[in-house]
Each structure stands twice: as C-alpha cells, then as structure tokens.
C-alpha cells in the first residue's frame, strides 16, 4: 500500500496508542514514545514493523505514542491509520485478513 496522505488512529488514553502516518521518503521512519519503553520497546517496534510489512507499506513516516497498548491494539491502530491514509472504503478493507 502507498501512504497517500497523513492519517491518525487511536488515542493517548491508558492501554491505547496514538498512531499517525504520513508519506515517507522511500523507507520506514519510526518514531516511538512509550510509557513502557524499557520493558516492551523492542516488542512494540517488532509488532509495528511486522504489521507494516503485512500491509505492503515500505515508505512511511510513522509516529506512535504508546500508553501500554497490547500487541493486538497496536496492530489495529497501525492498520486503521494506513487504511485511512489510502482512502480505502469499507468494502475495500480486508478486515481480519491483512493483519493476523
């Protein structure tokens, strides 16, 4: 997928994450701020990168403000932000198939 415009998904509430994406410059530029960085920073990065790979995104600036979100929440937020950035309509979104 190609990121066409800036998009956001999520909140900064406890146990959630705010994910924003915008068109990149030929690579994935990840900025991560997390309240649990010392404990789970590596796992959060792996989850985000795997999700982007499954969606076919290889050029994006992605900023994540994590407040202790579970992996399934991170996947959902990244997926939603990417789909919003592509103006995907509901009928074109492969919910449940793109991210496992």
Q: Give percent of the chain with pLDDT exceeding 90.
A: 83
Share of the chain above pLDDT 70, in %: 88
- SS3 string, the chain, reads CCCCCCEEEECCCCCCEEEEEEECCCCEEEEEEECCHHHHHHHHHHHHHHHHHHHCCCCEEEEEEECCCCHHHHHHHHHHHHHHHCCCCHHHCCCCCCCC
CATH of the domain at 55: 3.30.230.10
The predicted structure's pLDDT at residue 1: 86
pLDDT tens, 10-19? 999 999 999 9
User: What are 35-75's pLDDT values in tens digits?
Assistant: 999 999 999 999 999 999 999 999 999 999 999 999 999 99
In a domain, 74, yes or no: yes
Q: At what angle do helices 37-55 and 71-85 cross, to 10 degrees?
A: 40
Q: Among all chains, which residue has been given the structure tokens 């649990």?
A: 36
The number of distinct structural domains making up the chain is 1
> Does residue 80 fall inside a structural domain?
yes
């Amino acid at each position: 997928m190609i990121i066409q415009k800036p998009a956001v998904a999520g909140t900064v509430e406890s146990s959630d994450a705010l994910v924003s994406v915008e068109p990149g410059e030929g690579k994935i530029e990840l900025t991560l701020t997390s309240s649990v960085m010392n404990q789970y920073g590596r796992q959060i990065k792996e989850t985000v990168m795997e999700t982007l790979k499954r969606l076919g995104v290889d050029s994006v600036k992605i900023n994540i403000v994590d407040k202790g979100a579970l992996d399934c929440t991170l996947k959902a937020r990244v997926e939603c932000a990417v789909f919003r950035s592509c103006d995907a309509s509901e009928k074109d979104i492969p919910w449940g198939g793109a991210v496992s």
